[in-house]
Amino acid sequence: MKYILIIIFVLNVASCTSVEKYNKQRTALVLPEKLREDVDFTYKKLKEMHPKLYWYISKNELDFKFDSLKTTINKPLTPIEFYFKLQPVIAKIREGHLSLGIPMKRFSKKEIKALKNKKGLFGRFEYYVENDRLYITENKDSVEHTKPGTEILSINNVPISDYMKKYRPLISSDGYNTTFHNYYMKDVFFNFYVAEKGILDSAKVETLFNNERKIVNLKRESKNKEELEKEKIEKKRTEEKKVNDYVAFTSSYNRNFKFLDKDSTIAYMKIQSFSKNFSDRFYKESFEKLKNAASSYLILDVRNNYGGSLSEIKNLYSYLAPEPFILIKPSQLTSTTTPLKTNYFRQSNPFQFIIKTLLYPGYFFSQIFSSYKGKDGIAYYKMKESKSTKPKKDAFTGKVYVLINGGSFSASSIISSKLKHDKRVTLVGEETGGANDGTVAGFYSYQKLPNSKIELPIGLLLVQPNIDFTKTQKGVVPDVEITQSMQDILDKKDIQLDWVKAKIEKERENKKIAD
């Protein structure tokens, strides 16, 4: 027991030292020649591992952008300053999964515990972004009595438009998509802000509501006993929370299923993220309910779903397919050895490192045997999702509507694209944030730039739905385009869902007349 305590003590000291060392390095200046080396390292690794680097930009143009960037680096910069110079070039590749890791400050266990006992500063609001303007759409805690619809004009005397112009070039999106930026910006705006300014305890915010300007002084407050107790209760895992994948941070379920009418004719399924957690059971139980109720309509809602597990969307598709299907095309790699560059030992503590070392031979051979050269000379990786799959016995045969928007990304776009191509559904809403013709993701190689120490995750697989490609370089376009405005959100009107419900009601009325 004594030796175990010694080991724990040593690991804790090492962890604290690591945090302190990282934070010191994060604020240290790096010489310009070293930063230029990092630029070359970045481009070299991208050419080595990214299977579709010149999908949306020519080699000559990307060569020019990296070379031009190096000419602008003529003085020492901190890693965060360097991030704001390099990331815009990465974003020009127009591959939504490809972004540098933001070099955020790290916290000790003591600091993390202290922050957990306090409320957020900006995170207590819900936001809406339009062009270079930022609005508050929800204020559950009535912080400073700020009303939904309030525009934030500035933070600590700096106009929001200045931040927007600085942050927009940092966002990577798929191709020439027109909808992703605003959805993603509302979620990451304050990530960029905190990376620059740190976690603040207070902020002076200038707001505008009904043509009236007001100064709001936000302060980070401590949570009271009731709030802390509520958090403990929310973290407890019940069967319902497991199956519906409860997210304590947002106090919401990742998956929801319900009937929208008394006779169970119309079913509604909302998937916030394809997280895979207990998803097999959720779909099994949900589609059993659909079959038992003899429902005629299913509304599948993947709005604001940034994606996730390919195996989950294959499973979901098997409940919607009328016949055997292949979800994705064979996944391309830059070479058959690329899968061995996935940083197998990354972020392993000493115990995990020992276990992984023992298991490494199995991992090595599984990766080797999963890669192969096709007859076309291209390297591919074997994926279960690229094999023929039979529909489930409880597969739904009724009419399906799918709700999509600019926040539907990655796996959400892949399943939407496949369903549209197979003419299985009617898509309603906005162009998806993810590309119609696929993306580069799958699994990653986490590279660390040698001098600035910024992390560069590179997707290694070209993942494309098994469709005839549109080559539009845009997202999945809905069959019925309906755009939700901020006023709709403030009025709590879901005009996209309402349109589907009205359409179904009309169909049912016409059927009654015909009968």
Q: What is the pLDDT of residues 59-103, one digit of tens each?
A: 999 999 999 999 999 999 999 999 999 999 999 999 999 999 999
What tens digit of pLDDT does each residue of 186-203 get? Answer: 999 999 999 999 999 999
**Residue 129, domain CATH:** 2.30.42.10
Please tell me whether residues 85 and 135 are part of one structural domain. no
Q: Are 290 and 214 found together in one domain? A: no
pLDDT band of 116, cuts 50, 70, 90: confident
Write the pLDDT tens digit of every residue in 209-219: 999 999 999 99
CB 413 within 8 A of CB 439: yes
Whether residue 103 is contained in a domain is answered as no
The confidence score (pLDDT) of residue 72 equals: 97
7 pLDDT higher than 80: no
> Between 109 and 190, where is the model more confident?
190
User: pLDDT for 129-180, tens place per residue?
Assistant: 998 999 999 998 899 999 999 999 999 999 999 999 999 999 999 999 989 9
Tell me which of 119 and 18 has the higher pLDDT.
119
Tell me what pLDDT residue 11 has: 39
Q: At residue 10, does pLDDT exceed 50?
A: no
pLDDT of residue 248: 64
Pair 93, 107: CB distance under 8 Å: no
Q: What percent of the chain has pLDDT over 70?
A: 95
Are residues 285 and 136 part of one domain? no
Collapsing DSSP states into helix, strand and coil, what is residue 73?
coil
Let me know: does 465 contact 327? Beta carbons within 8 Å.
Answer: yes
Question: Quick one: pLDDT at residue 3?
Answer: 36
The answer on 274 and 192 residing in a single domain is no
385 and 260, same structural domain?
Answer: yes
Domains held by the chain: number: 3
Statement: residue 108 has pLDDT above 70: yes
Residues 344 and 394 in one domain: yes
Q: What percent of the chain has pLDDT over 90?
A: 75
pLDDT band at 358; cut points 50, 70, 90: confident
Tell me the mean pLDDT in the region 285-295: 96
Identify residue 183 by its one-letter amino acid code. Y
Q: Could you give the count of Cα atoms lying within 13 Å of 234 in the half-sphere of its Cβ?
A: 14
276 with 383, same domain: the answer is yes
Considering only CA atoms, which of 479, 491, 321, 508 is closest in space to residue 402? 479
**pLDDT band with cut points at 50, 70 and 90 for residue 501:** very high
Give Cα 480 distance to the centre of its chain: 25
Q: What are the tens digits of pLDDT across the range 427-463?
A: 999 999 999 999 999 889 999 999 999 999 999 999 9
Kindly state whether residues 208 and 285 are assigned to the same domain: no
Q: Cα separation of 314 and 421, whole Å?
A: 15
Position 1 pLDDT exceeds 50: no
Q: Are residues 128 and 276 in the same domain?
A: no
Please indicate whether residue 453 or residue 346 has the higher confidence score (pLDDT).
453
Q: Is residue 67 in some structural domain?
A: yes
- Res. 401: pLDDT tops 70: yes
Domain stops at, among 78, 93, 108: 93
pLDDT at 249: 62
CA geometry: angle 341, 344, 347, nearest 5 deg: 120
451 and 384, same structural domain? Answer: yes
Q: Which residues of 392-414 are buried (b: 16+ CB within 10 A; e: fewer)?
A: bebbbeebbbbbbbbbbbbbbbb
Q: Check which CATH number belongs to the domain holding 315 and give it.
A: 3.90.226.10
Range 386-395 average pLDDT: 96
Q: Which domain holds residue 71?
A: 18-93
Of the three residues 195, 219, 243, the one that is the final residue of a domain is 219
pLDDT tens for each residue of 228-267 = 787 777 777 777 767 777 776 666 788 999 999 999 999 9
